[in-house]
Structure 1
Amino acid sequence: MKNAEFGGGGAFVRQANRFTAKISADPGAEFPAEPGRYRLFVSYACPWAHRTLIVRRLLGLEEAIPVGVVDPIRDERGWRFPEPDPVTGASFLSELYLATDPSFDGRYTVPCVWDTATGRLVTNDFPEITTTFETAFAAWHAPGAPDLYPQALRGEIDELNALVYATVNNGVYKAGFAKEQGAYEDAARALFATLDRLEERLSDRRFLFGDDLTEADVRLYPTLARFDAVYYSHFKCNVRRLVDHPNLWRYARELHAIPAFGETTDLDQIKRHYYVTQRNVNPTGVVPIGPEIDWNLR
């Protein structure tokens, strides 16, 4: 973890996204939405990348947006492709970052989107990638695909997403990577305060905004899917497990039962990535064999 990602009091501060160009439905845009033009790079281990896989599957964009997958184990060279990427020829994701900006010296992150027409990375701005799929690529959505980002709810979705990002999605990292006790406790308390709010919110509704899936559900699920297997122990988020929250646990299992969620959840890759790669947290690199979690709905 680069020193630049820590602030005062030992608090973890995630690096800013370097590439933030927009893919637009406007044909006059610098990067117009076109099927097959862009290549999405992901890791099944990464929660930020996981959400892009979920949206891509829910909207039926598999052919319109091809995907390349990196190995879950990352070293000082960054994410590695099991075999050279057949489109770019890259063996490491870092090659694509440096081909776009030779001066880049941050972490090489997934998800990111490569433009095959110009031979450069367009974006690694993970909060925007899924909403781009939902809006700019609407012309290629499968018939009957859900409207994950309905115009009438965007303000409310964005507000909830901001809270969930700060205290849950990124909150587990703030707890796990904290270098001082106070920073850890602040992050952990904020995390469980929001989980309590979400538990209450889900007491009278199926999903976060009622009976229909939205972008908010896509953003929350990857953290819940990793919670008991990784964050509870590895990141010391151990006040309560996910399974100790009846409404959140029901909700997470219902999402998991949807193929776009469950079939993109690879707990083996998730556990190997966190426990093997993050030696600053787990110096031995030993991967726990548990916990045994039954994701089936009853």
Structure 2
Amino acid sequence: MGAYRSTGEFQRDQRYITTRITADGRDGYPVEPGRYRLVVSRACPWASRAIIVRELLGLQDVLSMGVCGPTHDQRSWTFDLDPGGRDPVLGIERIQDAYFARFPGYERGITVPCVVDVTTGQVVTNDYAQLTLDLSTEWAQYHRPGAPQLYPEHLRAEIDEVNDVVFRDVNNGVYRAGFAGTQEAYSAAYERLFARLDWLSQRLSTRRYLVGGQLTEADVRLFTTLVRFDAVYHGHFKCNRHKLTELPVLWDYARDLFQTPGFGDTVNFEHIKRHYYEVHRDINPSGVVPLGPDLSGWDLPHTRADLPS
């Protein structure tokens, strides 16, 4: 996942396979219905982005999806949810098999989400940030009627700007707090995280969505961290100044998204909690998974529809 600087600061390994699937096939992988399989885990926030975007855009019939279980060992994620522990389309037990099929001896992170070429069994990309943008742009001809424009050209500069600070301070910020190796590194990450959450609360107090008055990629990326906040980040990662439920604007905003088709119906809180508490034994040596928090509040009414959109 990452390493530590001498200061004790967590540093995420961001060396991904940057091959792209495009409409013109310039990297050797043209957009083609049925050719590719998106591999995810519902536990992983980075994979959850791809699950949500695929649902919102209506790409289920052209891009199949394999789901790994919530836990993994040092080797890789496994298809332990499927009969016989084997993906029914790819025929493999571990996603590492698709990585090694293209790159024998692959030494970087074997991560989800990734996209596998079904015709060869080889991984194409695990560049999660570009992957969802390409689903919005390169796969446009296969979007469902009325699908949202999650990355419209006239808003891309602002979306990119918001995504950059949200990734640095929130999406990755919770990890920088949770995996900090020193008190100083933890304190810095903690302060940065909650300063950005305060900034987001102020921004969202007068608008329903983050950018341009419409649902965009920026909302998807923030949501996958917010939906995990009380279940894992507040306790497990020591991000405990406030719970999400104690931040009125962000809690209302998160419920609005959760209740939007394609968001909450893709979330599995059991998988989320099991992943963080069972896999991160350096933080939680016992592997005991907490029974809380009470998650019934996600279905409570919100007031976001009254804001400008």
Same fold (TM over 0.5): yes
Q: What secondary structure sits across from 2:147 in the alignment?
A: coil
Q: Which residue number in structure 1 is paired with residue 119 of structure 2? A: 117
Amino acid at match of 2:299: N
Instruction: Give the structure 2 partner of residue 88 of structure 1.
Output: 90
Give TM-score scaled by structure 2 length. 0.93
Q: List aligned pairs for 1:140-151, cutoff 5 A.
A: 140-151=142-153
Residue pairs, 1:60-139, within 5 angstroms: 60-82=58-80, 83-139=85-141
Contact kept, 8 Å, 2:115 with 2:123, in 1: the verdict is yes
Preserved contact between residue 254 and residue 297 of structure 1 (Cα < 8 Å): no
Tell me which of 161, 165, 168 is aligned to 1:166.
168
Q: Which residue of 2 aligns with 1:191?
A: 193
CA distance in 2 between partners of 1:284 and 1:58 (Å)? 38
Match of 1:31 in 2: 29
Supply the distance in 2 between the matched residues of 1:102 and 1:29 (Cα, whole angstroms). 20
Q: 1: distance between equivalents of 2:34 and 2:166? A: 32
Question: Equivalents in 2 of 1:120, 1:199: separation in Å?
Answer: 42
Structure 1: distance between partners of 2:267 and 2:235: 19
Q: Secondary structure in 2 aligned to 1:39?
A: strand
Write the distance in 2 (CA, Å) between the matches of 1:13 and 1:257. 34
- The residue type equivalent to 2:28 in the other structure is E
Q: What CA distance in whole angstroms lies between the structure 2 residues aligned with 1:18 and 1:117?
A: 22
Residue 279 of structure 1 aligns to which amino acid in structure 2? R
What's the % identity of the aligned pairs?
52
What is the CA RMSD across the aligned residues, in angstroms?
A: 1.3
Give the C-alpha shift of residue 122 in structure 1: 1.1
* TM superposition outliers: structure 1 runs of 4+ over 6 Å: none
CA distance in 1, matches of 2:74, 2:18: 24
Matches within 5 A, 1:1-298: 5-27=3-25, 29-82=27-80, 83-293=85-295, 294-298=297-301
* Number of aligned positions between the proteins: 296
Q: 1:175 to 1:28 in 2, by over 3 A?
A: closer
Q: Does the Cα contact within 8 Å between 1:134 and 1:148 map onto a contact in 2?
A: yes
Q: Structure 1 residues 107-116 or 148-157, which shifts more?
A: 107-116
Distance 1:8 1:26, change over 3 A: same
* Segment drifting more, 277-286 vs 204-213: 204-213
Is contact 1:17-1:124 (8 Å) kept? Answer: no
Alignment correspondent of 2:305 = none
Unaligned ranges ≥5, structure 1: none
Letter in 2 for 1:148: L
User: Equivalent residue of 1:232, what SS?
Assistant: helix
Q: Once the 2 structures are TM-superposed, how far is the Cα of residue 16 of structure 1 from its aligned partner?
A: 2.1
